[in-house]
Chains A and B, each alone.
Chain A
Amino acid sequence: MTRALLVFGVLAIFPLTMQAMDSLFYVSLASRILIYAIAATSLNLVLGYGGMVSFGHAAFFGAGAFVVGILAVEGVRSAWIAWPVAMAVAALAALVIGAMSLRTRGVYFIMITLAFAQMMYYIFVSLKTYGGDDGLSMPARSTLGMGANLRNDLAWYYLVLAILAAVLYGLHRLTRSRFGRVIDAIRENEARAEAIGFPVFRYKLACFVIAGAVGGLAGALIANQSNYVSPSLLHWIQSGTLMIMVILGGVGTLWGGLIGAAVLLGLEHLIADYRIGWLAALAPNYQDHAGLAVGAVLLAIVLVAPEGIAGLFRRRRHA
Chain B
Amino acid sequence: MLELRGVSKRFGGVVATDDVTLDVVRGEVHALIGPNGAGKTTLIGQISGVLPTDMGRIVFNNADITRLSAHARVHAGLARSYQITSIFRRFSVLDNLALAVQARSGSSFSFWHPLASESPLFDEARSIAAEIGLADKLDASAATLAHGEQRALEVGLALATRPQLVLLDEPMAGMGPEESNRIIALMEKMRERLTILLVEHDMDAVFRLATRISVLVNGRIIATGAPQAIRADPEVRKAYLGEELAA
Q: Which residues of A are in contact with B by a Cβ distance under 8 Å?
A: 173-174, 176-182, 184-185, 188-189, 191-200, 203, 206, 210
In whole angstroms, how far apart are the Cα atoms of A181 and B90 in the complex?
12
Q: Do A173 and B114 touch across chains, with their CB atoms under 8 A apart?
A: yes
Hey, which chain B residues are within 8 Å of A191, CB to CB?
50, 86
Q: Do B113 and A178 touch across chains, with their CB atoms under 8 A apart?
A: yes
Hey, which chain B residues are within 8 Å of A174, CB to CB?
111-112
Hey, which chain A residues are within 8 Å of B93, CB to CB?
none
Q: Which of B64-118 contact A (CB under 8 A)?
A: 69-72, 74-75, 79-80, 82, 86-91, 95, 99-100, 102-104, 107-116, 118
Q: Do B109 and A206 touch across chains, with their CB atoms under 8 A apart?
A: yes
Hey, which chain B residues are within 8 Å of A185, CB to CB?
88, 91, 99
Find A199's partner among B71, B88, B112, B158 (CB 8 Å cutoff).
Answer: B71
Hey, which chain B residues are within 8 Å of A180, CB to CB?
111, 115
Q: Do A188 and B71 touch across chains, with their CB atoms under 8 A apart?
A: no
Q: Do A188 and B111 touch across chains, with their CB atoms under 8 A apart?
A: no
Hey, which chain A residues are within 8 Å of B118, CB to CB?
178
Find A198's partner among B71, B112, B115 (CB 8 Å cutoff).
Answer: B71
Q: A195-B86, A197-B161 are in contact. Are A181 and B79 (CB under 8 A)?
A: no
Q: Do A196 and B110 touch across chains, with their CB atoms under 8 A apart?
A: no
In whole angstroms, how far apart are the Cα atoms of A181 and B104 in the complex?
14
Hey, which chain A residues are within 8 Å of B7, CB to CB?
none
Hey, which chain A residues are within 8 Å of B8, CB to CB?
none
Q: Do B89 and A198 touch across chains, with their CB atoms under 8 A apart?
A: no
Q: Do B161 and A196 touch across chains, with their CB atoms under 8 A apart?
A: yes
In whole angstroms, how far apart are the Cα atoms of A206 and B91 in the complex?
22
Q: Do B115 and A192 touch across chains, with their CB atoms under 8 A apart?
A: no
**Selected A-B contacts with CB under 8 Å, 14 pairs:** A173-B111, A173-B114, A177-B111, A177-B113, A178-B108, A178-B109, A181-B99, A182-B102, A185-B99, A192-B86, A196-B79, A196-B161, A197-B79, A206-B109
Q: A-facing mask of B105-138, CB < 8 A → 1, else 0?
A: 0011111111110100000000000000000000
Q: Is B168 an interface residue (CB 8 A)?
A: no
Q: A-facing mask of B122-158, CB < 8 A → 1, else 0?
A: 0000000000000000000000000000000000011
Q: Do B111 and A196 touch across chains, with their CB atoms under 8 A apart?
A: no
Q: Do A177 and B80 touch across chains, with their CB atoms under 8 A apart?
A: no
Q: Which residues of B are in contact with A by a Cβ distance under 8 Å?
A: 48, 50, 69-72, 74-75, 79-80, 82, 86-91, 95, 99-100, 102-104, 107-116, 118, 157-158, 160-161
* Residue among B99, B109, B158 having the largest count of chain A Cβ atoms under 10 Å: B99
Q: In angstroms, how far is the closest chain A Cβ from the Cβ of B173?
A: 16
Q: Do A203 and B80 touch across chains, with their CB atoms under 8 A apart?
A: no
Hey, which chain A residues are within 8 Å of B91, CB to CB?
184-185, 188
Hey, which chain B residues are within 8 Å of A197, CB to CB?
71, 74-75, 79, 100, 103-104, 161
Find A196's partner among B50, B90, B99, B114 (CB 8 Å cutoff).
Answer: B99
In whole angstroms, how far apart are the Cα atoms of A192 and B158 in the complex?
10
In whole angstroms, how far apart are the Cα atoms of A200 and B71 in the complex?
8
Q: Do B108 and A189 touch across chains, with their CB atoms under 8 A apart?
A: no
**Smallest Cβ-Cβ distance to A174: which chain B residue:** B111
Hey, which chain A residues are within 8 Å of B88, CB to CB?
185, 188-189, 192
Find A189's partner among B70, B86, B160 (CB 8 Å cutoff).
Answer: B86
In whole angstroms, how far apart are the Cα atoms of A196 and B104 in the complex?
8
**Smallest Cβ-Cβ distance to A200: which chain B residue:** B71
Which 6 pairs, one residue from A and one from B, show the smallest C-beta to C-beta distance?
A197-B74, A197-B103, A178-B108, A178-B110, A196-B100, A192-B86
Hey, which chain A residues are within 8 Å of B99, CB to CB?
181-182, 185, 193, 196
Identify 18 new A-B residue pairs, CB closer than 8 A, beyond the known A177-B112, A196-B100: A178-B108, A178-B118, A179-B109, A188-B88, A188-B90, A189-B87, A191-B86, A192-B86, A195-B50, A195-B70, A195-B86, A196-B74, A196-B79, A196-B157, A197-B100, A197-B103, A199-B69, A199-B72
In whole angstroms, how far apart are the Cα atoms of A192 and B50 in the complex?
10
Q: Do A192 and B157 touch across chains, with their CB atoms under 8 A apart?
A: yes
Hey, which chain A residues are within 8 Å of B87, CB to CB?
189, 192
Hey, which chain A residues are within 8 Å of B110, CB to CB?
177-179
Hey, which chain B residues are within 8 Å of A193, CB to CB?
99
In whole angstroms, how far apart are the Cα atoms of A200 and B49 in the complex?
14
**Smallest Cβ-Cβ distance to B90: which chain A residue:** A188
**Smallest Cβ-Cβ distance to B101: which chain A residue:** A196
Q: In angstroms, how far is the closest chain A Cβ from the Cβ of B96?
A: 9
Hey, which chain B residues are within 8 Å of A192, CB to CB?
82, 86-88, 157
In whole angstroms, how far apart are the Cα atoms of A10 and B31 in the complex?
65
In whole angstroms, how far apart are the Cα atoms of A224 and B88 in the complex?
44
Hey, which chain B residues are within 8 Å of A195, CB to CB?
48, 50, 70-71, 74, 79-80, 82, 86
